């Protein structure tokens, strides 16, 4: 059998990059997307290729439908039948209260974190579902512990967006369970990635880790291991699950 194909959106850095490298080590052929940092994406592809794996990087803004259609068409043509989708692409903006947020911010955050996940999930289902002639597959959505904590005074918009991802995960899992597709979400907590730079606080994990029962932040690799378990046959009876990776927070 040919090696399974995994598509990871936002796969050029952080959790996405760790997932891409871990997937390649497990025998997946990997496609990653990037928004603007082509150098970072190419570096991940090169690392996979140097290890004897196969990988491609595709520029795409997952919040734009035309980009998503082009993305999936490229994977179809260059790699073949998709087995696993990891909806990892997302973003947050600088921390502030809700009463300081403008409409533009809400639209950017919801577009990247919600619309992008919905569009990519739709295209994956159209390819994986036995109803559409597929052979099944797996979708893993990257949510956040913020969806249940609310992120007051910081990122209520991001928390709400991830709440939408949680709801989509549960509903979609029920829609396609009989069609050979499992859908789950991973909800990371305080993880050492550069997403905190976007929020204007690169030291956020160290500042807040005292509130974590394990008294430390997590690594991108720890989250990636959870994603890869959900994508594997080892979790064959798991669907519609929201799995926290938060150190107990």
| Active-site annotation, residues | 158
Helix (H, G, I), strand (E, B) or coil at 34: strand
- Tell me how crowded residue 180 is: count the other CB atoms within 10 A of its CB: 15
- Quick one: tokens of 62? 């997952």
Which residues are within 8 A (CB) of 166 and not within 5 positions of it... i.e. 6 or more apart? 143, 147, 185, 187, 242
Sheet strand arrangement including 137-142? 55-59, 29-34, 5-8, 84-87, 137-142, 181-188, 242-245
How far apart CA 248 and CA 145 sit, in angstroms, is 10
């Amino acid at each position: 059998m040919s090696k399974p194909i995994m598509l990871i959106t936002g796969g050029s850095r952080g959790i996405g990059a760790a997932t891409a490298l871990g997937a390649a080590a497990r025998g997946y052929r990997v496609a990653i997307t990037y928004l603007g940092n082509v150098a970072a994406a190419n570096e991940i592809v090169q690392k996979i290729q140097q290890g004897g794996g196969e990988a491609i990087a595709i520029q795409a803004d997952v919040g734009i439908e035309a980009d998503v259609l082009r993305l999936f068409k490229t994977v179809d043509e260059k790699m073949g039948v998709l087995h696993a989708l990891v909806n990892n692409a997302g973003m947050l903006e600088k921390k502030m209260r809700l009463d300081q947020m403008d409409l533009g911010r809400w639209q950017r955050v919801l577009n990247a974190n919600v619309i992008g996940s919905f569009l990519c999930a739709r295209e994956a289902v159209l390819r994986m579902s036995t109803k559409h002639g597929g052979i099944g597959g797996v979708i893993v959505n990257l949510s956040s512990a913020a969806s249940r904590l609310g992120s007051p005074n910081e990122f209520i918009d991001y928390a709400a967006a991830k709440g939408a991802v949680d709801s989509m995960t549960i509903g979609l899992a029920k829609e396609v369970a009989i069609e050979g597709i499992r859908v789950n979400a991973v909800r990371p907590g305080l993880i050492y990635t550069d997403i905190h730079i976007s929020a204007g606080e690169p030291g956020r994990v160290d500042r807040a880790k005292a509130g974590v029962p394990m008294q430390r932040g997590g690594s991108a690799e720890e989250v990636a291991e959870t994603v890869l378990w959900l994508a594997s046959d080892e979790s064959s009876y798991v669907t519609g699950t929201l799995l926290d990776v938060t150190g107990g927070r």
